[in-house]
Amino acid sequence: MSPFLILLFLSVESISLSHADNVDLSSGNTTHLHFYLHDTLSGPNPTAIPVVQGSTRYKGSGPFGFGTIIVIDDVLTEGPSLTTDAIGRAQGFYTMASLTGSELLLSINILLTEGEFNGSTVAVLGRDNLFDSVRELPVIGGSGKFRMARGYTLFKTYSANASTGDVVLEVDLYVTDISPNIDELIPSRNDTTSNGDTPSSSSSTSASDGNKCLHLDIVMIFVVSCFIAKYLLVII
**What pLDDT digit, counting tens, does each position of 10-42 carry?**
554 544 444 444 545 456 789 999 999 999 999
Least confident interval from 5-14, 119-128, 223-232: 5-14
**Does residue 194 register a pLDDT over 50?**
no
**Does residue 165 register a pLDDT over 60?**
yes
User: Higher pLDDT residue, 130 or 25?
Assistant: 130
Question: How does residue 64 score in pLDDT terms, banded at 50, 70 and 90?
Answer: confident
DSSP string, 85-100: PEEEEEEEEEEE-STT
CATH class of residue range 29-182: mainly beta
User: Higher pLDDT residue, 176 or 191?
Assistant: 176
Going from the C-alpha of 223 to that of each of 1, 10, 13, 236, the distances in angstroms are 21, 12, 15, 20
CB atoms within 10 A of CB 83: 8
Rounded percentage of the chain residues whose pLDDT exceeds 90: 51
Q: What's the pLDDT at 78?
A: 97
Question: How does residue 104 score in pLDDT terms, banded at 50, 70 and 90?
Answer: very high
Least confident interval from 45-54, 59-68, 170-179: 59-68
Q: Which residues pair with 74 in a beta bridge?
A: 90
**Does residue 2 register a pLDDT over 80?**
no
Q: What's the pLDDT at 94?
A: 97
Q: What is the rounded average pLDDT of the residues 114-139?
A: 96
**Does residue 149 register a pLDDT over 80?**
yes
The most confident of 110-119, 182-191, 197-206, by mean pLDDT: 110-119
